[in-house]
Amino acid sequence: MKKLLLNLSILFMHTSLMAEQPKDWQLGFQKAASKGMEDIVWFHDYMLLPIITAITAFVLFLVIYACIRFRASRNPVASQRSHNTFIEIIWTLVPCLILIVMAVPSFKVLYSQDEIPSADVTIKAIGYQWYWGYEYPDENIIFDSYMIEDKDLKPGQPRLLSVDNEIVVPVNKVIKVLITANDVLHAWALPSFGVKRDAVPGRINETWFKADRVGTFYGQCSELCGIKHAFMPITVNVVSEDDYNNWLVEAKEKFAKDYKHRDQKIVKKIIKEDIN
Ligand SMILES: [Cu+2]
């Protein structure tokens, strides 16, 4: 019975993990897990795709029509027409209108990504050759996150996407991510949240997401950063508020950043030296 339950839990874990990562022969986006990504998917599926399809079909029709209607055998004497003011106005105005129609929802999505609501949790992601380092500045937590090698994978852990130390965040909370790099350009990207930002040495970029369901979500470094670029995945574990608080207690022990105490010691030392 115990074994059966274990197998079932592994099976469940596996399918739940499968939902948040790329699938074989996948064509579209990964399933959205945030409002930001839902907006992006809507913009792509109901705005860009229909417009692109219509334009492609129309141009194909024009090409075929011109080939048949204006073929040499049907027009032994070539037309001398060089321009037509009306049609030139039309083919300038219509693309302008299409661009304006596309720009409105596009800017809406862009600004919603850019304007960060007041954050519940702040995470700092630092790109290294070739792994990610994370910090929870408000919680005094710091840790590194390395990819798990094929030979060490446990059942249910996807290859090239699983890491040893996952980021843990609460569900339905605004997570602000500060992104930087320590050596070369990297990019912190998580498709299900619609998040992708360059990690630039000496500069801090920021982005945010609000995961709308519990689960494990996978992303990858998305800026070519060297020979092991493909081996620095990102794993985010979205959990309930209670589970997050439990994790915090554990993480504060396990990943404690001792800077606070060190800084206090340095201050004391400086004051002491100044007095003397
Ligand atoms: Cu990279």
Per residue in 148-176, pLDDT tens? Answer: 999 988 888 889 999 999 999 999 999 99
Nearest to 193 by CA among 40, 52, 1, 88: 40
Question: Ligand 1 centroid to 196 CA: how many Å?
Answer: 12
Q: What is the mean pLDDT of the chain?
A: 87
Give the start-end residues of each E strand in 74-185: 121-128, 131-136, 141-145, 167-170, 175-181
For residue 15, pLDDT beyond 70: no
Q: For 199-251, what is each residue's pLDDT tens digit?
A: 999 999 999 999 999 999 999 999 999 999 999 999 999 999 999 999 999 88
Question: Ligand 1 centroid to 163 CA: how many Å?
Answer: 15
For residue 95, pLDDT beyond 60: yes
Taking the model in full, what pTM does it have?
A: 0.77
Question: Ligand 1 centroid to 3 CA: how many Å?
Answer: 40
Question: Ligand 1 centroid to 229 CA: how many Å?
Answer: 4
Looking at the chain, the whole-number percentage of residues with pLDDT higher than 90 is 68
Question: Ligand 1 centroid to 142 CA: how many Å?
Answer: 21
Residue type, 236: V
CA–CA gap between residue 110 and residue 118 (Å, rounded):
18
For residue 269, pLDDT beyond 80: no
pLDDT value at residue 268: 59
Instruction: Tell the burial category of 174 from Cβ atoms under 10 Å away from its Cβ (0-12, 13-18, 19+).
Output: middle
Question: Ligand 1 centroid to 267 CA: how many Å?
Answer: 38
* Three-class secondary structure of residue 218 per DSSP: strand
Q: Which of 6-10, 78-82, 164-168 has the lowest mean pLDDT?
A: 6-10
Question: Ligand 1 centroid to 222 CA: how many Å?
Answer: 6
CA–CA gap between residue 159 and residue 218 (Å, rounded):
11
